[in-house]
Amino acid sequence: MGQLYLVRHGQASFGTDDYDRLSDLGQRQCTRLGEYLGEQGVVFQAALTGTLRRQMDSLGCIARGLQMAPEALSWPGLNEYNGDALVAALNAPPPPPLTSPEGVRAHFRLLREGLLAWMEGRTQPQGMPSHAEFVAGVRDALDHVRTNYDGAVLIVSSGGPIATAVAQVLGASNETAIELNMRIRNSALTEFVFTPKRHSLLSFNTLPHLHGPAHAQWVTYS
């Protein structure tokens, strides 16, 4: 039986003009995760990651902490959805700036609405695949793992694809997938066990590498 480790990228640059960039804390989160996995004696047969910079750089930091670079496969189907496009497709009035608490709350409220509208086929955000195509990209990655490996495999992706993977394994609703998505923390670890026939959920959204007071301030969501 194999084990699949799905990791959300480290803290990116939310609220700036280039979200797709790890913050200094995001780099430390992922490096610490690599150290933790090394301490547990995990040796990866392979790693898959999307093509977004924050995902690839997170994999690089994990490899640095692990002190080994697993064979890496670039997988565009593991890329995140475009949150701005989802919100824009609603044609809603612009929310307050993200620099205010009200703006952050309004952003995530609209993001939830935009996700559900996209999932239900009521909108088609510009420059994005359909939701069915997005799910297929995630499912193809899971199928690749099942059919090609039998040991430890690492996927470094984002909240949307990881929540989608969990929802697919559990047979969960769109609404549940959105709730899962909103809860996934930066550098969090979700684990599946797998056979050639199926994946099963072992753990969700854990931060074993950040336990203890030394890393209490390293826990972030966006």
**Chain-centroid distance, C-alpha 200:** 18
Residue 52 to residue 192: CA distance in whole angstroms: 23
pTM of the model as a whole:
0.94
For tokens 């549940």, what's the residue?
176
Q: Which fold has domain 2-79+130-218?
A: Rossmann fold (3.40.50)
For tokens 């797998």, what's the residue?
194
3-state secondary structure of 157: strand
Local confidence pLDDT in tens for the 222 residues of the chain: 999 999 999 999 766 667 789 999 999 999 999 999 999 999 999 999 999 999 999 999 999 999 988 889 999 999 999 999 999 999 988 777 777 888 888 888 999 999 999 999 999 999 999 999 999 999 999 999 999 999 999 999 999 999 999 999 999 999 999 999 999 999 999 999 999 999 999 999 999 999 999 999 999 988
Residue 100 to residue 141: CA distance in whole angstroms: 38
Buried b (16+ CB within 10 A) or exposed e, 59-90: bbbbbebbeeebebeebebbbbbbbebbbbbb
What is the number of other CB atoms lying within 10 angstroms of the CB of residue 174?
Answer: 15
* H-only helix segments in the chain: 24-39, 53-66, 83-88, 101-119, 131-148, 159-170, 174-183
Give the residue extent of every domain in the chain. Answer: 2-79+130-218, 82-127
